[in-house]
Amino acid sequence: MQKQRRYYIILLLIGLLAVVYLARLFSIQVLNKTYKDKAEQNALRYITEHPARGLIYDRHDSLLVYNDAAYDLMVVPNELRDFDTAELCRVLDLTKEEVEKKIARAMKYSKILPSLFEQQISKEDYGFLQEKMYEFPGFFVQNRTLRSYPHPIAAHILGYVSEVNDQDMENDNYYKMGDYIGKSGIEKAYESVLRGVKGKRVVLVDVHNREMGSYDNGSEDVVPVPGTSLWSTLDLKLQRYGEELMQNKRGAIVAIEPKTGEILCLISSPTYDPNLFVGTARPKNYGVLQQDPKKPLFNRALMASYPPGSTFKLANGLIALQDGIITPSTVYTCSGGGYHLGNHVVHCHNCGGLNIYTAIQRSCNSFFCRAYYNILSNRKKYKDIDEAYTAWLDYMTSMGFIQKYETDLPYELRGSIPSAEYFDKKYNNSWNGNTVVSMGIGQGEAAVTPLQMANMLAVIANHGYYIKPHVVRAIGHRDSLNTQFNEKIYSKIKPEHFVTVLQGMKLVVTAGTGRGAQIPGIEVAGKTGTAQNPHGADHSVFALIAPADDPEIVIFCLVENGGFGASVACPIASLMAELYLNGEVKRTDLEKRMKELTLR
């Protein structure tokens, strides 16, 4: 009896255990979808749908940057099975070592998430690869777009995109390994606008790695949002023409519409075709350009600090007028071969007696050295040299020097004009206006960027104010104007002094050192400059404002090793102003000469 009872108890326990197991199995297989979903995940592929980047136009609706179809080969390490490595190498033109390195990198990133294996495959290669995808389990193709440039110009200002690095992903979780990001120029400055919003596509995949269609009728798909298009401030025709004129030369040209601060062209020469930075050839081309001794990757317009030469006399003349050091009728005499500093002479041409108008016209070193010395020696207003120099520096800052504009121009530099403390230390607190008098004529320690000089011309053209120079005028629609940069920033110089300086600049072109800037039917104001260069021939510099009484364009042109300002920079700036204002250039002989000129 006792044995029988024990038998039933054991049967009951076994029965209860069976019920528990059956209930658990029912819960797992019927009620709980977790394992079902995990099983389905083995047959599902989650594909990121990358949006097309926004397009970039010039100010007149000409397309500067658009998108072309391309494809990325992705890999999921956990889904890899034995495959014909030699065949993959042949299809993608890779070595076995490169394939192994790419797979190792993907495994380091994640074994279960897709990683970029080979980027920006062309449409032709994609067609061939797609037919063989069943041979490569764990790989799949993802649609992408490549930037394309219908006009091989403006590389420094448009910028380029490339694959994100660890820092990019750390700074913004929008980016994943294999994504692209704007690295310079407009592409970088407006990355958040141009990039759009990613989408997602979930597809069924069979055992042969072939897509079988959308999962659940696309219920989990997310449509990508394309990037927003931009209208730049650039004038395509002017930008292209300027680059043609600067071929076989080194230097920079910046043209600004003074009333708006819009950059009409920004040229750094030598330059390069932006299409070189598209696709798989980008790393190789970047390496070649980086090693080029002419430094085509260096943006001279924003980053090079040059001595401004005699064009700097315009700013010093304005400060001398503002501080009451001179009036329009003040006369200084230039004789004895120039401005004398003991045994040292700042050479000039014995210009005779000059006022501010004729001093600008003839670019008299003696006049502006004396004016600069008197600014720094004004003890009626300033107690010592430090206070006087700092006040002069404040005037310069108010005209846009010694600063970054912090607009949409990545990697701009601030130039270099030293502080009073710098000279205190350098000369052991024993210095005066004559010690630094060379800065009165744009030499010595004065070093500025071409962008800053063009902005100074905008201040003169506007009789005292500037709007920060920028390169995007509309976002989303050509009429949706970019209002980030429309504040008028006023200098510390009174408007009437700009009228005086402009009058002197007119004389430069009509009867002075810049006669080559004359444009039939248009009154031009200008200033030549010859910037000393300790490493070779002097730089040729020219500053232009046109039309003089109602300016539509200001141009600063600097040609390295070009010699006198009147010889190279002056005609180039004048030709560009003629094209912009008249729509054509009639001085074809001058144009031909400038295009054919080669400077080492």
pLDDT score, position 140: 86
- Indicate if 373 and 440 belong to the same structural domain: yes
Looking at the domain assignment, is residue 161 inside a domain? no
- In this prediction the pTM is 0.88
Residue 157 lies in a domain: no
> 218 and 327: one domain?
no
Same domain, 137 and 260: no
In a domain, 355, yes or no: yes
> What confidence score (pLDDT) does residue 30 get?
56
pLDDT value of residue 8:
66
Looking at the structure, tell me whether residues 17 and 76 fall in a common domain. Answer: no
Number of C-alpha atoms within 13 angstroms, CB side, residue 443? 18
240 shares a domain with 137: no
User: Are 111 and 131 found together in one domain?
Assistant: yes
Does residue 183 lie in a domain region? no
Measure the CA–CA gap between 559 and 543, rounded to whole angstroms.
12
- Assigned domain for 159 exists: no
Q: What is the domain-level CATH number for residue 251? A: 3.40.710.10
The residue whose two tokens read 């136009």 is 57
Do 23 and 76 belong together in one domain? no
Whether 64 and 9 map to the same domain: the answer is no
Amino acid at 363: S
For position 271, what pLDDT does the model report? 97
The residue segments making up the domain with residue 72 are 46-151+197-228
Does a structural domain hold residue 387? yes
| CA pseudo-torsion sign 246, 248, 249, 252 | positive
Looking at the fold, whether 220 and 244 belong to one and the same domain comes out as no
pLDDT in tens, the chain (600 residues): 566 666 667 777 777 777 767 767 666 665 555 545 444 445 787 888 889 999 999 999 999 999 988 888 889 898 888 888 898 888 888 899 999 999 998 898 888 888 889 888 877 778 888 888 888 888 888 888 889 999 999 999 999 998 899 899 999 999 988 889 999 999 999 999 999 999 988 888 776 666 677 888 778 889 999 999 999 999 999 999 999 999 999 999 999 999 999 999 999 999 999 999 987 788 889 999 999 999 999 999 999 999 999 999 999 999 999 999 999 999 999 998 999 988 889 999 899 999 999 999 999 999 999 999 999 999 999 999 999 999 999 999 999 999 999 999 999 999 999 999 999 999 999 999 999 999 999 999 999 999 999 999 999 999 999 999 999 999 999 888 899 999 999 999 999 999 999 999 999 999 999 999 999 999 999 999 998 877 788 899 999 999 999 999 999 999 999 999 999 999 999 999 999 999 999 999 999 999 999 997
* Residue-level pLDDT at 412: 94
**Same domain, residue pair 126 and 275:** no
Q: CATH code at 124? A: 3.90.1310.10
DSSP, residue by residue, 316-385: HHHHHHHTTS--TT--EEE-TTEEEETTEEEE----EEE-HHHHHHHT-HHHHHHHHHHHHT-TTT-SSH
In a domain, 178, yes or no: no
Number of domains in the chain: 3
- Residue 553 CA to chain centroid, in angstroms? 21
Element (H, E) at 162: strand 161-163
Q: Is 173 inside any structural domain?
A: no
Strand ranges for 56-112 from DSSP E? 56-57, 63-75
With a CB cutoff of 8 Å and minimum separation 6, the contacts of 205 are 43, 44, 45, 140, 211, 212
Q: Same domain for 139 and 113?
A: yes
Tell me: do 210 and 334 sit in the same domain.
no
